[in-house]
Amino acid sequence: MMELLSETGPDGELGEKIILHVDMDAFFVSVEEVLNPKLKGKQVIVGGDPNGRGVVSSASYEARKMGVTSAMPMKTAKRLCPRGIFLKGSHYVYGDFSRRIMEILRRFTPALEQVSVDEAYLDLTGCQRVHKAGPVAIAQRIHDAVRDEVGVPCSIGIASNKVTAKIASTLSKPHGLIYIKPGYEGAFLAPLPIGKMPGVGPATETGFVKMGIRTIGDLARFPQEALSKVFGVRATELSDRAGGKGGSEVDPEGDDAKSIGRELTYSTDTDDPELLLATLSYLSESVGTRLRRAGCVFRRVTVKLRYADFNTYTRSRTLEEPSGDTRAIYKSASDLLSLLHHRGRGGVRLVGVSVSMLAEPPRQAGLFENRSAKKVERLNFSVDRAREMFGFESAMTARSYIHASLRASSKDGVAAVAVNRGARAA
């Protein structure tokens, strides 16, 4: 069902900024329904073992009616939805569907910015004459093409900027479309709860409410001087966004993978530094293999720790030179762990490693090639080849083997949760 807010002519106004936010509906579940149509209309939850310590990655709208939400612990989802169908899912399969969807979107405009595996921004400014249609008609074609060619539904928000378009697509779910006519952005946003603003989580929302800011309109009207005392230089940006103005441009370069990472959730919280290092080593090897498979090098390494109380901490390090070496990932990750891990905080629930600031490998003339670097490159290639032939755990460092063997024997109760960030990582 398509929904239209703020009527306009069939062609809109030529020259106006037209930004679309295209977001798949319950993407992982929708893919599973394409693969197995018998799942349609049922309470489907993707995330793994309902008795484990993983979290919900995606839930069907039937499961959501039972109170199941993304990022909810699987055990909670099982309690709320005892008759639910729980699936582990496959990020490689979801990545393939994602690539097909992005190929469809690129048919409508080259100005596409993919921000996750299941959502993207499109800048259609100036494209109306090419498509001989207005923004609503073009969005309808996109919606129908994704549904007919890939089989998954999506929701679309259309506005003059990314923030308003994203809010519109969220409110149009499921299977809907909302168009905010230029000049109506502020009126559309004003009555919405402040929690609907992208980037405003529960803690930030609580802070806003204490300031008397309960709606997005309240934020737009809040005295600039008072707002600056709390948010500093960000005050103007927040005020503009709340009024439906400003925001960043669609970045066509953003459709490449922004990061490649993997996370692991322990079935039992741990405070053992050796186990944490073994897990970091295992994750670093996995990320390194995926990085090279994507044909990339990196400059930044990020480590994430989530403790038993669900408080999450991250630290990053940027290398002086780009690298594609697994050892460089682990060296930085282990150094970051020493800065992040404090025993006084309690046991660790989740560990994650990711690399970002990705680029294509530099091309060097043979005369100036670094022999040591070439040896490392050949070693990584040989390890990757062995893993392709015999499985990932066929070639690992001793430290990674410790993690793998404990996981296999279930002594540490590690539940793996792979997270691919970005199209090329999938």
Length of the chain: 426
Catalytic residue among 33, 119, 185, 263: 119
In this structure, the number of other CB atoms found within 10 A of the CB of residue 330 comes to: 24
Query: Is 13 labeled as catalytic in the residue annotation?
Result: no
Residue 336 and residue 301 in contact, taking contact as beta carbons nearer than 8 Å: yes
Give, in degrees to the nearest 5, the angle at Cα 192 between 187 and 196.
Answer: 125
- Report the C-alpha gap between 198 and 40 in whole angstroms: 30
Residue 395 and residue 233 in contact, taking contact as beta carbons nearer than 8 Å: no
- Report the C-alpha gap between 273 and 402 in whole angstroms: 13
Residue 262 and residue 303 in contact, taking contact as beta carbons nearer than 8 Å: no
- Report the C-alpha gap between 184 and 339 in whole angstroms: 48
- Report the C-alpha gap between 245 and 66 in whole angstroms: 37
CA-based nearest residue to 417, from 277, 330, 304, 313: 304
Question: φ, ψ for residue 223 (rounded to 5)?
Answer: -55, 130
Region class of 201: left (phi > 0), else alpha (psi between -120 and 50), else beta: beta
Q: Give the residue numbers marked as catalytic.
A: 119
